[in-house]
Each structure stands twice: as structure tokens, then as C-alpha cells.
Chains A and B, each alone.
Chain A
């Protein structure tokens, strides 16, 4: 963890995105109080909580493997933290638990034990267990990683909806870029204990600040500066879906174009990926949506044949060379 400074706004869904070992989970655990920073401060709603033990912080966690207590029923799991909340009278506990379970659509499963639940249900118990305490910040450590891929998309929508209705700040750790882009209000891209970039999903995807951020968020083509006739130490980034294959330079005015040789055409149903080589042998990737059925309109380019790579200069991102 190295000189990380983040400001997370009240009520936003903020993601920490990065490869494993980048420090995102450590950062999350520091906010939860499960790990202590060697230097620096952590504030929640303006209060310095750096030295506050985990059980006194207004932040609760949904663990990656959910960490449900195996010897307690669903209702007992959800009620676990309630007795430590002085402002909730004991008589109100049962109602609170019921409410929380209804919120995550688990009503009726109160008496089950964790091992009798499916992965998705367990995840929702973990969510209810933290939400019933009405935290100011909910910390989620890769909450979708242990779920089936089909379930993941459904839970993404559900989590986002929950966050919006409750208005609680969600701090979300993930290594899955689609999760981060699809759910977050803002994202911090992390690498080796540092924050590389903070911004909205569109900002970090379309205007990545570093080469690492660019590549971690999706496939990226880099063009040497000379291509655009600019002198300088750096390169242009153009994402595959912003590129097109054209027959000639003059096809559309104002477009940048480079001659290339088509190497491979990969038909993927919903789109087609082209792999082409520039004059110097550099490899570029073009992704084209199949807006027209391939049966009606045969491809205009063929492997081995010549083509031009065209793009709107507005979509090119200038990236200075990094040390």
C-alpha cells in the first residue's frame, strides 16, 4: 500500500479494480478495521477511525466466501450483530431480521443452516447480516466471485438496485472489469498498492490515464506517434471497437487511416474480430459489430489482402511514454 488517497462520496457505489495482489482487498480491510495502515488516516463521514477497532466502526463487510457462521441458522446469522447495537431494543430484533431477509428476498428460510443454502442464497444472507446493522459504508470483497457466471449478472443488477434504494455507500472490490464498469458510480484502478486512476466507468475506459489502466480495462491498440503526424514521446491508444477496416483513405474525410494487411478474420456471431498487421509488422485488433447478417453481405476483406485501418481522431487517446 503506497500513498493511496481516495475520497469516496456518500451514497455512491465505488469500486476498487485491479489484478490480484494489487492491494485492493488490503485497502478494503483497512477501511473495515481488520488491518491497520502503517501511516495515514481513514475517515468515515468525517470521523477519524484509523485507530477504532473493527467492532466499533460504522462499516460492515460482506466477505468473499461470505463467512457465515456454520453453527447458526439464517436468522441467527442475521441477528448476530444486532445485540451490539445499543440503539436497537431487543424486542425489535426479530422484526429487523425479518425486514432484512425480506430485503434480500430470503423470507421463509430463517430456520435453515448455511450449508443447506445455495451459493446465491448464502451471499444474500451475508448481505442481510451486514445491512441489518444499517452501516454507513458497506464493504464488499469480491462478493460475486464465488457465484455461477449466470447468477453473477443477476446479482449485479440486484446489488446496484439495493444500493440505490438504501442510499448506503458501497465500497466494492473486484478484479472483473465488466463488474466494475457495469455497477460503479466511480472506479479506482489499482496496481501494486497504488491507485492508477479514479473516474467514472466511461472516463477510465475511454480516457485511461496509464497504459496499465488501458490494458486492464479492455483490449487496446497502440499506434506510434508518427502515424498521426505528431512528434513526441508517446503513443496513441485506440480501442478495437473504435477502429474500422476501410477500402481506401479517402472514404470519409477527417478520419485517420493507415494501410495494413489482413491476417485473420474471427467470426463471433454478435461481432467479428479482425487481426491485421501494419507496415512495420505491428499487430492491431479491430472489433466490428455484425449489424448486417453475414449471410446477406459477404465480408469485404479477406485474410492476406490489403485494407486500411480507419478511426475518428476523437477516439484516439494520447499516452505519454512511461518510465
Chain B
């Protein structure tokens, strides 16, 4: 009896395993193997004649050692800083928005305003980023308004700078910060805020000692949701950034397309993934310690 139930349990899980195997595990394994190989003379792959010798010589790690060269490390650091800055800015902008939306907005306005946060998703991210080009470029809307209003006599040169990339990243990731923050602020028991005020805490104190700690799961989720995609971003930096604002995402994309060095691109992708996995692990451990559900 028990035996049969055990076996049927495995059977029920089979579709999941199949799905994960075909769409997740297999491509990942292929990428990993690819990252150990080397580019052929005309792109493609250099054949491995003697597998034992290839492994023993350590040549299979050459892509990884190459990624540690100064030029690539520089790109890595810049990507990290841009992602961190994006995360920090979306948090600073998103928290007040989510707070007002969750706690200070009358019920009948809530759905509408929350809808406005989500509306951008209805248009392709690529098109929205193009729209920023039109807003920011030298003859764009922003400069048109600034010059027209007489606020400046020379147009601002924003497009194709790191500032433009930053604006694009923050714009794109903001909803992913606002939504989890909103969810945790909405859940917040308002009588706890009243209790804190009743016990003598002023507004700032209530915020610091009650609101922030009790919404920390939302903050953590928002950080993870924003940091990970901005670390691998390449559309924004490609369209809005100049030649010097290449990010890790652009580098990988470049290796896979223009440079036709698939093994190196695969190695870079794996390194990025390892960093992301570490962060997710840290997040899961943090949530578990808090006794909260892990959302991702």
C-alpha cells in the first residue's frame, strides 16, 4: 500500500521534472560544457582531440581566467556599481510611492494608481527605452522644454552618458521595487502604528522602529527583484549609453553575436549566474531567519 503511494508520488512529479530537465537543466549543462571549450578560428568551436590532455592542461578553464583580465573586471565592477546604484535609487524613490499608495490613498483611488504602476508593462521594454532616447537626446523633448522656458541657453547632453543609462535602469526597474513594497505595506497592521504613537513615538520614530522592520521582507524582495535584472541588463546601456558605458550584459551579448566567441560568452554568463545565485541564497536564508515565506 505504502509502496504504491510512494511510486505514484514520483509519477505525479514526473511532468515537473521533465519540464525542468528540458527547459532548465539541459540548456544549463550545454552552456557549462560550452564555457569549457574554445573558439575556433572562424568562430564556432575548436575541436578537442585529446579530452584527457585538454582537461589535465587546465585549458578548459582558459575562458574563466580570461574573464579575470583587467578590462573585463572593470566592466564587471561597473555593472555591479550600476546595479547597486539602481537598486538604491529605486528603493529611495519606490518606498515613499508604495507608502503613500498603501497607507495614505483612499480605497477608491488605490486600484487606479496601482494600475498606473503596472501599465508600462503593456508596452515592450525596448520601445519604452527608445522613447527615452527621444526624451533625452540633444534635440529631444526635455531640451526643447528647457530651452523654450529659457532655463538653459545650451541643450543638456544626457543621451549616451552613464546618467542616461542610470535613468533608463531606474525607470525600468522601479515597478519591480514598488510592487513588493506595496504588498508588504498593505499587509502592515495599522493599529501597530497607532500603538507606537500612543506609546510616545513621533512620526520618524514610528517609521524607523515599526514600519521599516515590519516591511523588511518587502524591502528584501524588492532589492532582489531589481538588483538581479539590472546586473544583466544590456538593452538600456546599448540604447542610452555611449561606448564607455558597456555593462556585463553587453559584453556577454557581444561575445555571443559580434565576436562570435560563444565559449567565452558562456563562461561570462555562468559567472554572472553564480553571483545571482549567491545573492538569492543570501535572500532565502534571510527570509527563513525572519520566519517569512520565500517569495522567489
Contacts and interface: CB of A to CB of B under 8 A. Distances in A.
A67 B201 contact: no
B200 A67 contact: no
A69 B196 CA distance: 9
Question: How big is chain A's contact interface, by range?
Answer: 20 to 34
Contacts of A54: 194, 197-198
Contact of A34 (B198, B201, B213): B198
Given A55-B199, A60-B199, A67 B210 contact: no
A57 to B, nearest CB: 8
A63 interface: yes
A54 B202 CA distance: 9
A55 B197 contact: yes
Contacts of A71: 213-214
B213 A55 contact: no
B195 to A, nearest CB: 4
Contacts of B209: 80
Contact of A81 (B189, B194, B200): B200
A33 B194 CA distance: 10
A286 interface: no
A56 B201 CA distance: 9
Contacts of B195: 61, 63, 67, 69
Interface in A43-61: 53-56, 60-61
Contacts, number: 56
B198 A55 contact: yes
Chain A contact surface mostly: loop
Interface in B17-44: none
Given A63-B191, A67-B189, A67-B195, A55 B214 contact: no
B192 interface: yes
A60 B198 contact: yes
Nearest to B205: A84
Contacts of A56: 200
B220 to A, nearest CB: 14
A53 B197 contact: yes
A70 interface: yes
A67 B191 contact: yes
B216 to A, nearest CB: 8
A40 B210 CA distance: 32
A69 B192 contact: yes
A67 B197 contact: no
A81 B194 CA distance: 13
B198 to A, nearest CB: 5
Interface in B157-203: 189, 191-192, 194-202
Given A53-B197, A70-B214, A80-B199, 18 more contacts: A33-B197, A33-B198, A34-B197, A54-B198, A55-B201, A60-B198, A61-B194, A63-B191, A65-B191, A67-B189, A67-B191, A67-B192, A67-B194, A69-B210, A80-B209, A81-B199, A84-B199, A85-B200
15 contacts: A33-B198, A54-B198, A60-B198, A61-B195, A61-B198, A67-B189, A67-B192, A67-B194, A69-B195, A69-B196, A70-B214, A80-B209, A81-B199, A129-B199, A133-B200
